[in-house]
Amino acid sequence: MTQPASVQDRGTPIISVRDLRKTYGHGAGRFEALRGVSLDIREGESLAIVGKSGSGKSTLMHVLALLDQPTDGSVMLDSQDTKRLRGRQLNRARNKTFGFVFQQFFLTASQTALENVVLPLKIAGVGRRARHERGMAALEQLELDDKAKNKAVNLSGGQKQRVVIARALVNTPRIIFADEPTGNLDSNTGRTVEDILFTLNRERGITLVIVTHDDELARRCDRRIHIRDGVIVDEEVAA
Ligand code: ADP
Ligand code: MG
């Protein structure tokens, strides 16, 4: 179980990036999506990454979450340079430390809620019985245990996003990365999903990194960074 964000943990960067650059394509099609981004993410904080469509938010999140490599610059996880992590080591670091909540859900429609939730445990090599127990416990936390055997395709949008959160939680991550987590939900359902994320942040000290262009959601975070054309142009800290 991840330790709650104790006072002494606040201020320690869990992820630290310096001078990140990310270039897509070559020649005339070359595009610099990140043009020198430096940022520390502290354990236990909630951080919003805001900016217009195409400004580089998702690219930055993918690099922070070790889903993509920068073209240049460094990504430190717990003061360790992640450049040295390869293949299985990289997958393990990501799987152990991070949970993901993306707008498009990424659930397997034909599988049950429970099967979707235990996927990260399967990848981590956790045995069948433990998978079942931990998967059900995660679904219970999201008040979805009665839907465990329902196929994902038959769930509502809000239920799907709760399954996604249960899946993000099943590995007891230290950080949840959420890319437009409420983008596909009506505002009431979206608010419920937000409340769940902020409760996890407050009560369990899970660090939140949320990409959003929803101002209200961004304002609920401890800190907001504004990205424009691949650079951080502004940072605001909650009063
Ligand atoms: P945001 O999430 O802020 O909308 P993205 O990080 O998705 O922005 O994209 C930033 C810029 O990089 C955009 O101009 C986008 O078109 C471009 N981009 C993103 N992914 C790719 C890719 N795989 N290949 C080429 N260009 C890309
Ligand atoms: Mg995006």
Q: Is residue 15 part of a domain?
A: no
Q: Averaged over 198-225, what is the pLDDT?
A: 95
Q: Distance between CA atoms of 119 and 123, rounded to whole angstroms?
A: 6
φ, ψ for residue 150 (rounded to 5)?
Answer: -75, 140
**pLDDT tens-digit series, residues 26-36:** 999 999 999 99
CA of 74 to the centre of ligand 2 (A): 21
Q: Is residue 26 part of a domain?
A: no
pLDDT band of 186, cuts 50, 70, 90: confident
Residue 65: partners with Cβ closer than 8 Å, 6 or more residues away:
94, 98, 100, 175, 177, 209
Q: Which ligand is nearest to the CA of 20?
A: 1
| Total number of domains constituting the chain | 1
Q: Is residue 217 part of a domain?
A: yes
Q: Is residue 74 part of a domain?
A: no
**Closest C-alpha residue for ligand 1 atom 1:** 54
**pLDDT tens-digit series, residues 130-148:** 999 999 999 998 899 999 9
Contact 230, 200 (CB under 8 A): no
pLDDT band of 10, cuts 50, 70, 90: low
Residue the block writes with tokens 């999903």: 193
**CATH code (residue 156):** 3.40.50.300
What is the pLDDT, as a whole number, of residue 105? 67
pLDDT band of 89, cuts 50, 70, 90: confident
Q: Averaged over 32-61, what is the pLDDT?
A: 96
User: H or E element: which one contains 130?
Assistant: helix 128-141
pTM above 0.85, yes or no: yes
Q: Which residue(s) pair with 208 in the sheet?
A: 46, 176
Q: Is residue 194 part of a domain?
A: yes
Ligand 2 is an ion; its neighbours by CB within 5 Å are: 58
What is the pLDDT, as a whole number, of residue 6? 43
% residues pLDDT > 70 (the chain): 94
Q: Is residue 37 part of a domain?
A: no
Own/partner long-range contacts of 80-85 (Cβ < 8 Å, ≥24 apart)? none
Ligand 1 atom, smallest distance to 56 CA = 6
Mean pLDDT lowest for which of 73-82, 89-98, 153-162?
89-98
Ligand 1 atom, smallest distance to 211 CA = 2
